[in-house]
């Protein structure tokens, strides 16, 4: 048995993402993790996060980076590039939450993402990707792309099937939807880089891109990458005839709330992805794989692991069932260990083993770059009414 190494960690950000990252670190077992401290935009927010966890507050990002081996980038997407580059320049591994990076407006307070030319948005997103990749190439550290779908047990089992059977994937269909983001900043392009495509579609999109990389790597030693995209975006909760019943989040300033992506790969095979803010009753996470030798259906959320029937809403007041459920009355799908099903502890475990022992990264900067390039090429396509658009390479 090899000697267990220690890994010093810092967290940048102090809200929803920071909380589940910290929870995943507490479950790391292959190394000895030490969370040194947290840095956040405001001191009050950092202290509220740090105090119950017994960690330090760092007012200065550089001071935190000087004390750690890995940093969790759990801030709004508009800040990801700056934090990641600062970490890489110090030889610190950045765990970068989704979306990896993107285009976040022209700097004006009145920026409207709907009116901005999407070819320029694509160019800006690609430039941001290149700056991160250049910083990585010059660093002793590696980018760790925090796409939890890659580490979901269902996706990793499908990886095992593809590798061991030599499968050729012909078509994949992925979906993610729920009733709206936790983040109050979500809804503004200038903070998030887009809407449902980049905020939700990136999850199943990264998964389908990953499985084609696995297929190509297993058979020919190189990934099969995306080539073109056709996309449509919609703003359904802002339609003049939309009738708001109060169950869906509707405060979207200048982003889409529904999207369809149709991706073709270098080998001519395809994948489709649907994402939206329009799904009630919990999160919908699903991926289906149609291959030349098998079919796989990954019912991630909801699934039949457990169900409860509760006749009185108030009886389950203190019982957590599943994220974004809406009501606990009647029959409900329950995931006993939601974080495990969603791949969060497996993701952080893998990343910490990379930092400590140099183990290969499954969710790396190459996958992150292809995901962002595909999303923003999709915005170009949607602006042109669904015209097939080439996906650039970073």
Examine residue 98 and state whether it is found in any structural domain, yes or no. Answer: yes
The structure tokens listed for 157 are 């089992």
Q: What is the pLDDT of residues 5-39, one digit of tens each?
A: 999 999 999 998 999 999 999 999 999 999 999 99
Which pLDDT band holds residue 180 (cuts at 50, 70, 90)? confident
Per-residue model confidence (pLDDT) at position 201: 97
State mean pLDDT over 374-378. 98
Do 219 and 141 share a structural domain? no
CB 385 within 8 A of CB 234: no
Q: What is the pLDDT of residues 89-104, one digit of tens each?
A: 999 999 999 999 999 9
The structure tokens listed for 340 are 């495990």
First-residue to last-residue Cα distance in the chain: 40
Q: For residue 109, is pLDDT > 90? A: no
Residue 17: φ, ψ to 5°: -65, -40
Q: Give me the percent of the chain exceeding a pLDDT of 90.
A: 94
Q: How many domains does the chain have?
A: 2
CATH number at residue 341: 3.30.360.10
Do 135 and 31 share a structural domain? yes
Distance CA 328, CA 322 (A): 9
State mean pLDDT over 225-232. 98
Do 95 and 45 share a structural domain? yes
Per-residue model confidence (pLDDT) at position 181: 82
Which pLDDT band holds residue 184 (cuts at 50, 70, 90)? confident
Examine residue 359 and state whether it is found in any structural domain, yes or no. Answer: no
Q: What is the pLDDT of residues 251-298, one digit of tens each?
A: 999 999 999 999 999 999 999 999 999 999 999 999 999 999 999 999
Q: Residue 382 in 3-state DSSP?
A: helix
Do 126 and 11 share a structural domain? yes
Examine residue 355 and state whether it is found in any structural domain, yes or no. Answer: no
Examine residue 357 and state whether it is found in any structural domain, yes or no. Answer: no
Do 134 and 52 share a structural domain? yes
CATH number at residue 60: 3.40.50.720
Mean pLDDT, rounded, of the chain: 96
Q: Residue 22 in 3-state DSSP?
A: helix
Do 202 and 240 share a structural domain? yes
Distance CA 152, CA 30 (A): 18
Which pLDDT band holds residue 44 (cuts at 50, 70, 90)? very high
Q: The domain containing residue 127 runs over which residues?
A: 6-147
Do 162 and 143 share a structural domain? no
Do 25 and 55 share a structural domain? yes
Do 296 and 182 share a structural domain? yes
Q: For residue 3, is pLDDT > 90? A: no
Per-residue model confidence (pLDDT) at position 182: 74
Q: What is the pLDDT of residues 48-82, one digit of tens each?
A: 999 999 999 999 999 999 999 999 999 989 999 99
45-55 burial, b at 16+ Cβ within 10 Å, e below that, comes to: bbeebbeeeeb
Do 293 and 275 share a structural domain? yes
Radius of gyration of the chain (CA): 21
State mean pLDDT over 116-126. 98
Examine residue 362 and state whether it is found in any structural domain, yes or no. Answer: no
Q: For residue 185, is pLDDT > 90? A: no
The set of residues, in sequence order, having a beta carbon less than 8 Å from that of 57 and lying 6+ positions away, is 37, 38, 39, 40, 43, 46, 47, 50
Indicate the residue among 104, 128, 147 that finishes a domain: 147
Examine residue 94 and state whether it is found in any structural domain, yes or no. Answer: yes
Do 138 and 228 share a structural domain? no
The structure tokens listed for 150 are 């890659």
Indicate the residue among 147, 162, 197 that finishes a domain: 147
Examine residue 367 and state whether it is found in any structural domain, yes or no. Answer: no
Per-residue model confidence (pLDDT) at position 2: 77
Q: For residue 1, is pLDDT > 90? A: no
State mean pLDDT over 234-245. 96
Examine residue 76 and state whether it is found in any structural domain, yes or no. Answer: yes
Indicate the residue among 107, 125, 147 that finishes a domain: 147
State mean pLDDT over 313-330. 95
User: ∠ CA(322), CA(328), CA(334), 5° rounding?
Assistant: 35
Do 267 and 242 share a structural domain? yes
Per-residue model confidence (pLDDT) at position 143: 98
The set of residues, in sequence order, having a beta carbon less than 8 Å from that of 160 and lying 6+ positions away, is none
């Amino acid at each position: 048995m090899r000697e267990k190494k220690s890994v010093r960690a810092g967290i940048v950000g102090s809200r929803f993402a920071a909380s589940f990252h910290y929870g995943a670190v507490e479950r790391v077992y292959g190394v000895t993790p030490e969370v040194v401290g947290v840095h956040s935009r405001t001191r009050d927010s950092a202290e509220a996060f740090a105090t119950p966890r017994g960690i330090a507050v760092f007012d200065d990002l550089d001071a935190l980076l000087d004390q750690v081996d890995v940093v969790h980038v759990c801030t709004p997407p508009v800040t990801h590039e700056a934090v990641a580059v600062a970490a890489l320049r110090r030889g610190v591994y950045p765990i970068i939450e989704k979306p990896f990076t993107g285009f976040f407006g022209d700097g004006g307070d009145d920026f409207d993402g709907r009116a901005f030319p999407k070819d320029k948005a694509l160019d800006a997103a690609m430039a941001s990707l290149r700056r991160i990749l250049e910083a990585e190439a010059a660093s002793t550290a590696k980018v760790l792309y925090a796409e939890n779908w890659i580490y979901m047990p269902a996706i990793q089992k499908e990886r095992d099937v593809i590798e061991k059977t030599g499968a050729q994937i012909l078509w994949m269909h992925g979906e993610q939807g729920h009733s709206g983001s936790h983040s109050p900043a979500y809804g503004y392009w200038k903070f998030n880089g887009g809407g449902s495509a980049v905020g939700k579609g990136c999850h199943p999109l990264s998964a389908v891109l990953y499985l084609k990389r696995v297929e190509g790597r297993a058979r020919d030693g190189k990934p099969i990458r995306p080539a073109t995209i056709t996309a449509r975006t919609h703003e359904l909760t802002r339609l003049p005839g939309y009738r708001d019943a109060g169950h869906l989040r509707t405060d979207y300033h200048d982003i889409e709330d529904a999207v369809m992506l149709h991706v073709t790969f270098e080998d001519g095979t395809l994948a489709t992805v649907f994402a939206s803010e329009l799904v009630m009753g919990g999160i919908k996470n699903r991926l289906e794989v149609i291959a030349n030798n098998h079919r796989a259906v990954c019912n991630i959320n909801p699934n039949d692991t457990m169900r409860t029937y509760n006749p009185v809403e108030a009886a389950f007041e203190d019982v957590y069932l599943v994220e974004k459920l809406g009501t606990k009355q009647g029959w409900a799908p329950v995931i006993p260990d939601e974080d495990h099903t969603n791949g969060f502890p497996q993701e952080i475990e893998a990343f910490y083993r990379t930092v400590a022992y140099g183990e290969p990264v499954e969710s790396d900067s190459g996958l992150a770059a292809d995901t962002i390039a595909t999303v923003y090429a999709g915005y170009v396509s949607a602006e042109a009414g669904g015209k097939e658009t080439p996906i650039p390479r970073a």
